[in-house]
Amino acid sequence: MTAYRAPLTDMHFLLTEVFKANAVFAAMPGTAEVSADLVSAILDEAGKISEHLLSPINQSGDQQACQWNEGFVTTPTGFKDAYKAYAEGGWAGLTGHVDFGGQGMPKLLSAQIEEMFFGANSSFALYAILNTGATLTISEHASAELKERYLPKMYEGEWSGTMCLTEPHAGTDLGMIRTKALENGDGSYNLTGTKIFITAGEHDLTANIIHLVLAKLPDAPAGPKGISLFLVPKNKVGADGNLTGETNNVKCGSIEHKMGIKGSATCVMNFDGAQGWLVGKLNNGLANMFTMMNYERLSMGLQGNGLAESSYQIASEYAKERIQGRSPSGPVQPDSAADPIIVHPDVRRMLLTMRANIMAGRALSMYAALQLDVSRFHPDADVREKADKLVALLIPVQKAYCSDRGFDVCVIGQQVLGGHGYVAEWGLEQNVRDSRIAQIYEGANGIQALDLMGRKTVRSNGELLSVLLQEFDEFIAAAQSSAAMQKYLPHLGASKELIADVTRKVIARAEVNPEEIGAASYAYMELLGLTLYCFMWQRMLLAAFEKLESGQGDAAHLNGLVKTADFFFARMLLHGKALAEEIEAGSETMMAMTAEQF
């Protein structure tokens, strides 16, 4: 198996040349001190952790898996020591609020670190990102007292966090939850109910686990409007912020035996009169929890990106070393019995498809992360509002499209290896298993597509998309001065017109038939994802040409990017026309059969 290598060259190029991170950070007071040298040092150190701390325990963690015994979970060998090193390095509080011991780093930087951690060891990465999401939600919505009591130790990595949403009878439809919260009269509440599929709900990595739990008061309004959010620690915490030594009636009933991410505990959590505290206002819990859910959805796209990168590394090395057959144009290694399989066009098709998706997915994730930073740190309210609109549009696409393409890339990597791709020692079959869940959790990709098509597009009458299309126009205008870009810019212009035309048609048809929204949703998500990948490749090309024309940078690396882009525009972007035709087909054939005919 090829050991994971942090893709630092690509990441530095995207941060510095494509997204001009130094200028972006300098323009916002909250990130002004984040210098280029600091970013480089943090990324390089995260790469070392990925390669030397997390990757070596990835396969063994999968084989050993988490173990449950009488309510307690033991993580695989090496995970506890790795988490301790991760915490001591300050990584748990990297993006945390500085007033409570966090480092205040931007998401544009931390997104790349998450991708590396996911690529090196997805099971371990899940413990880390759940804590980060929980601290973000507490920081944004909890009272000053709760922040002071819980955030410092969560930033230190001494405690960790989770979110508890799903119940046995209520998955996506959270308005159906039955977990109850009863007031105690002292500002706290007693919570009773069962939650399922709770990642990191129980483990042995930290001294306490802080659960963010959705629940309802007995007199709450029906449906989603009656949901409140509560902070519920596994072990009780005193007013001084230290453990009291008492447990809090929070118990792990079991863990799931899963297809992948076996080193990550997926728990059934039982709350039996557990004491908790309200986070934000009553009956506003779902809105508050979306702070964490949006963060985690971005992370699921990053999981797809990370495992895709890992798979590409394995497949690329294998293709350059595996001897099989001869080049169609004649032997390239005449002294050997055969040539390496990378000489074959179909193998190159697979590798280029992998590479094109990985780079575009990484760039799209960074673009979405950048909007999150702007919405959080920018001093201009109008700029923040624009970024908020882009975040609302981008997150469901980034989550779904990057995790879909990430899984596809892992499967393609298996195919490059042939029979070896099916064998555990090479690591590809684990990547396939580990990446599959990213398409399901934090809102299955079909739900992301429906949210994009319905709430974010039809109900907004295309307002959010218009903000993105304006970004396209501004880029095209700015790139006109580049002679090298003239052959590529028409691709972006055509993609823009295609997505705009499709959007207008679906909005019009939905006024007559609401089923058109769901019928179009998945193909629309894929079309917008492909369009965004086109936009990302345009931005990467412009940056690459600028470096090449100035005689700076690694010419081999930059030319490789250009050739990958050429493959994307010649062989991948054209699938957008088929997606547009699929959407044009409408809902009739999809809804014609009765339920009994299935």
Q: Are strands 159-164 and 208-215 parallel, antiparallel or unpaired?
A: parallel
228 forms beta bridges with: 215
pLDDT band at 369 (very low <50, low <70, confident <90, very high): very high
Q: Which residues contact 516 (CB under 8 A, 6 or more apart)?
A: 506, 509, 510, 586, 587
pLDDT digits (tens, 9 = 90+) for 405-450: 999 999 999 999 999 999 999 999 999 999 999 999 999 999 999 9
Complete DSSP assignment for 343-359? GSHHHHHHHHHHHHHHH
pLDDT digits (tens, 9 = 90+) for 163-182: 999 999 887 788 889 999 99
Name the DSSP letter for residue 323. Answer: B
pLDDT exceeds 80 at position 2: no
pLDDT digits (tens, 9 = 90+) for 198-214: 999 999 999 999 999 99
Distance CA 166, CA 20 (A): 39
Residue ranges of domains in the chain: 458-593
pTM, 2 dp:
0.96
Return the structure tokens found at 481. Answer: 């001065």
**Residue 497 designated active-site:** no
Q: Which of 17, 202, 429, 442 is catalytic?
A: 442
